[in-house]
Amino acid sequence: MPISGFPEWLPPQRMIEQYVLDRIRTTFELYGFAPLETRAVEPVDTLLSKGETSKEVYLLRRLQEDPDQKSDDNLGLHFDLTVPFARFVVENAGKLNFPFRRYQIQKVWRGERPQEGRYREFLQADIDVVDRDTLPFHYDTEMPLVIGDVFRGLPIPRATILVNNRKVCEGFYRGLGLADTDQVLRTVDKLDRIGPEKVADLLISTAGASRRQAEACLELASISAGDGSFADAVRKLGVDDPLLDEGLAELLQVVETAGRLAPGLVRAELKIARGLDYYTGTVYETQLQGYERYGSICSGGRYDNLAASGTERFPGVGISIGVSRMLGLLFGKNALAVSRKVPTCVLIALPDEEARPGCDAIAAALRGRGISTEVAPVPAKFGKQIRFAERRGIPYVWFPGEPDTVKDIRSGDQVEADAAVWEPPAEDARPRITQQ
């Protein structure tokens, strides 16, 4: 029986997932991010102090547990990869070289009510850079470029990375005279769901805003541009605040750098807020074209205060691809296809059981040259054996004989072949993943 929120893919989907993970990993390493894996559990205190609501954390507990055990060493499954990473950095600061760039591709768990693209167990692929004391801003501009590179190499719809900066919002709200900037942010974040009228009402009733202040917040949130023009639009609103200026300069740098290096990838979108958690500056969200209503498939941001030990601080910036969400959505629309259901490229036909050692030798010769090969399970009629291959999408059937022949069962072409030298065309060597 399936368990709600714990998806299990069939082999074709898993093959697509592994292909995607390979692309992600090689691209991350191309940018010099070092691999890291952290344990699945953290002390509950660590998880809860970083802004996650307790009801979403899964606890780790033995079946027979001493009820008197100390509550402060309770363990919970991590709900993202950034919090464990921050803990890891503080713990291993002496052994790491800063700035430290790492990637982490792991399962995370959240006790939510699942729906399409939302699971309780899912894969994230995360990159972060952390430094001691201060982290140069140019890393904030690098994150979307890495992700753009990953997505460009995948057979998926176009992705747009929406960027904002908390300093812009907070500075703007402060400059307007609003004190509870967090509450304003959280309310504005609901814009897409409840609409501008209700947001304005909420700002007035819960964040102490006047009608005019609420409208200014909405005007700010409505600004969106693929180039630096957003900055003028913000300034036109006539609000003045040093934090706002700082935020605008940062956001401008992200948008203009991306505009130069990856045109069309990044958009300033002043309404995105990223809930409440630990972000202090740049924030990212990513939309897949045609899947906008399912929300972000890749998010992150700048966190200056997440990792700290005593007087030492380790500011960081990171972004995380929601691999399971992205694939779940694409699978749901049948947007991805794989050319065969198994890795096998060649099926060796088996004339009779006496021929099996010879067939195994042919298979070994092909495998020795990197060609995925299996021998037919039983010496059925050749028609059946071809069908066996066809059902699985295996493109070639090899007939032992004098001489051996190999048949491309898609075209029907059958040619003489020598297991010591024959090669499939490059496009048939591995299953191909294509966009539908």
Partner RNA sequence: GUGGUCGUAGCUCAGCUGGUAGAGCACCGGGUUGUGGUCCCGGGGGUCGCGGGUUCAAGUCCCGUCGGUCACCCCA
List interacting residues with RNA (CB under 7 A). 1-5, 51, 53, 55-56, 80, 110, 112-120, 122, 124, 186, 190, 193-194, 274-277, 285-286, 293, 295-299, 320-322, 324-326, 332, 349-352, 379, 381-387, 390-391, 397, 399, 401, 405, 407, 409-410, 412, 414
Which ranges in 36-180 belong to alpha helices (H)? Answer: 44-48, 82-92, 138-152, 166-176
User: Residue 177 CB: number of other CB atoms within 10 A?
Assistant: 12
Rank residues 229 and 289 by Cβ distance to RNA and give the closer one. Answer: 289
For residues 11 and 51, which CB has a smaller minimum distance to RNA in the complex? 51
Q: How far is the CB of 37 from RNA (least distance, A)?
A: 18
As given in the structure block, the two tokens for residue 369 are 């040259």
* Pick 226 or 351: Cβ nearer RNA: 351
Residue 312, beta-bridge partner list: 309
CB of 114 to RNA, least distance (A): 5
* Residue with Cβ nearer RNA (73 or 378): 378
For the sheet with 266-269, list strands across it.
34-35, 100-109, 121-130, 312-322, 298-309, 282-288, 159-165, 266-269, 224-225
- What's the min distance (Å) between Cβ of 221 and RNA? 15
Shortest Å, Cβ 288 to RNA: 10
Beta strands in 247-342 (DSSP E): 266-269, 282-288, 298-309, 312-322, 336-338
Helix residue spans in 177-306 (DSSP H): 181-188, 191-194, 196-206, 211-221, 229-235, 242-261
CB of 163 to RNA, least distance (A): 14
The Cβ-side half-sphere exposure at 429, using a 13 Å CA radius, reads: 10
Nearer to RNA, 3 or 312 (CB): 3
Beta-carbon count within 10 A of 114 CB: 17
- Say how far apart CA 366 and CA 91 lie, in whole Å: 48
208 secondary structure, DSSP code: -
Please list, residue by residue across 396-410, b when 16 or more beta carbons sit within 10 angstroms of its beta carbon and e when fewer do: bbbbbeeebebbebe
When the beta carbons of 233 and 409 are compared against RNA, the nearer one is 409
Closest approach of RNA to the CB of residue 334, in Å:
11
Shortest approach of RNA to residue 376 CB, angstroms? Answer: 8
Do the strands 75-77 and 41-43 form a parallel or antiparallel pair, or are they unpaired?
Answer: antiparallel
Minimum CB–partner distance for residue 336 and RNA (Å): 16
Q: How far is CA 391 from the centre of its chain?
A: 32
C-beta closer to RNA: residue 202 or 254: 202
Q: Which is nearer to RNA, 59 or 276 (CB)?
A: 276
